[in-house]
Amino acid sequence: MDTNIVKRRLGAGNLEVSALGLGCMGMSFSYGPAADKKEMISVLRKAVECGVTFFDTAEVYGPFTNEELVGEALAPVREKVVIATKFGFGTSGISALNSRPDHIKKVAEASLKRLRTDVIDLFYQHRVDPNVPIEDVAGTVKELIKEGKVKHFGLSEAGVKIIRRAHAVQPVTALQSEYSLWWREPEAEILPVLEELGIGFVPYSPLGKGFLTGEMNENTTFGKTDFRNTVPRLSSENRKANQAFVDLLATVARRKNATCAQIALAWLLAQKPWIVPIPGTTKLTRLEENMGATAIVLTADDLLEIGTASSKIKVQGDRYSEGAAKLINR
């Protein structure tokens, strides 16, 4: 694997990272039982060898165990990598938002210990807390930056007004939100504002929670503890209806001698030079496959073909369950 991987800069903060990061959540959380720790440490360290320098985690993944995994795995190469983590949920878990300043400070201290580091490279507010003014959140992170405990401030799933208000207090380096060929909502308002303000964009679920890889069909079953069971868009009926997205990717992939996943990621990379997707995986082979996307060149004609064809496909099913959707405050 070529370790001279393409680099990109996130925002005017000039945070340089590999063009593709690694979303670490699935190693410990959401996609069924946690994977074997030793195996995941091996995958994380191999990722660094493959050129990945950007790793994404959060205190709520586990909770806590994903940060501990990432911290242990990357401790020997800490100076070579950028670690992003998140605050914003209460101790009762993912259903309770909490971005009060005192809580943010406690989370920062605890995350630093779990990550085995003295500074968090990128500290995101995981979800907007309607009970805490975003100015207070940004001001608290600004204090943490002054104290040398955090380098960069990020937001996740925030809308345009929140982004502007936060950025006025403490420059936002990156916004992390869902973006992929079958969720293009950020293109309307979010991307123009990020470009205007000089904020990088980190798409999560760039492969549609696995669907856009082409490895899933209407007959695929998920484990009992896999959260995809709750995603309306991934119901058996909707997977069948949404197959047209995969068929489109497959058509281009055959022409480029690539995989559906690689085309889906290459399409995202081609949208803006400050976009850094973070596909997640627990398998080294998939990691290497994903990294291959950075070498794929999609021409203007390719992009026009994908954009035109995908805009004619009506995606079936919401991207989140009703309960989870309430946590997205736009």
The residues annotated with a catalytic role in the active site are 61
* Cis preceding linkage at 101, omega within 30: no
Nearest to 286 by CA among 78, 63, 56, 26: 26
If you search the block for the tokens 């890889």, which residue do you land on?
Answer: 213
Taking a C-beta distance cutoff of 8 angstroms, is the pair 317, 234 a contact? Answer: yes
By CB atoms closer than 10 A (0-12, 13-18, 19+), residue 301 is: exposed
Q: Are strands 120-125 and 82-87 parallel, antiparallel or unpaired?
A: parallel
Nearest to 22 by CA among 153, 146, 206, 238: 206
**E-strand stretches of 65-158:** 82-87, 89-90, 93-97, 120-125, 150-156
What CA–CA distance (Å, rounded) separates 160 from 167? 11
**Residue length of the chain:** 330
If you search the block for the tokens 């082979």, which residue do you land on?
Answer: 285
**E-strand stretches of the chain:** 7-10, 15-18, 22-23, 54-56, 82-87, 89-90, 93-97, 120-125, 150-156, 172-178, 200-204
Widest pairwise Cα distance in the chain = 54
- Determine how many CB atoms are found less than 10 A away from the CB of residue 113: 11
What CA–CA distance (Å, rounded) separates 73 from 283? 15
